Amino acid sequence: MNQELVDYIEKSIYPLYERNDWSHQLWHIQNVTERSLKLAKDYPVNKEMVYVIASFHDLGCFVSRDNHEEISAHLMEQDPLIQKYFKAEEIQTMSEAIVDHRGSLEYEPRSIYGKIISSADRLVTVEEIMRSTHSRTLEFFKEMPWEEMVQESYKYIKKKYGAGGYAKSYIPNPDFEQFLKDIQVYLDDYELFSKKLKEVDHFLRKEYHMDEQKSIYVRL
């Protein structure tokens, strides 16, 4: 791995993730990067391209969650250091992979790079998906009664990760396969799900010093 590239990503790109909502901040990017490189070991791919894709894939969330993948791809394409180190066709492949990473994608990723980042972007622990889902609820619907918060989180997670859910891994991914079994335990027991979400709620409010005036991702 080119050290100059790594140093640039860590010093110039990673800090930009502080602008994002909690579930798309640096903790998530580093986890996805680690999983991407782990999955990439079994394929004849450029590991530096895998690294860049993972590092940029959610960069545009602070602008818009709805089309963040396209914004992130554009930011990567326009980055001077990326243009310095990669050929035009490599940048195009990385751009397509970033666009193709969304779990709700209606088509199969166009390259192995897209399949790697999409598969690596799937959350792989109950704690991750609970915190990610509930942080968004607290950000946009913090006045919502607790029971409605539980219902909304439950419906979202079940639709995405329950039996027949739309989130999938396009390459063998043992961690994700185990996660689907783990989360199903909570989806099969609503009371257990609610109890776990309450623990997550306490964690997020304490971690981010949340009060009635502050959104979940603003630290004091």
Could you count the other beta carbons within 10 Å of the beta carbon of residue 164? Answer: 6
Check residue 218 and give its pLDDT.
Answer: 39
Report CA-CA distances (Å) from 125 to 115, 118, 147, 178.
Answer: 20, 16, 23, 9
Task: Give the end-to-end CA distance of the chain in Å, rounded to a whole number.
Answer: 36
* Per-residue pLDDT tens over the stretch 99-145: 999 877 788 999 999 999 999 998 789 998 999 899 888 887 878 89
Task: Give the whole-angstrom CA distance, residue 131 versus residue 138.
Answer: 10
* Per-residue pLDDT tens over the stretch 12-57: 999 999 998 878 889 899 999 999 999 999 999 999 999 999 999 9
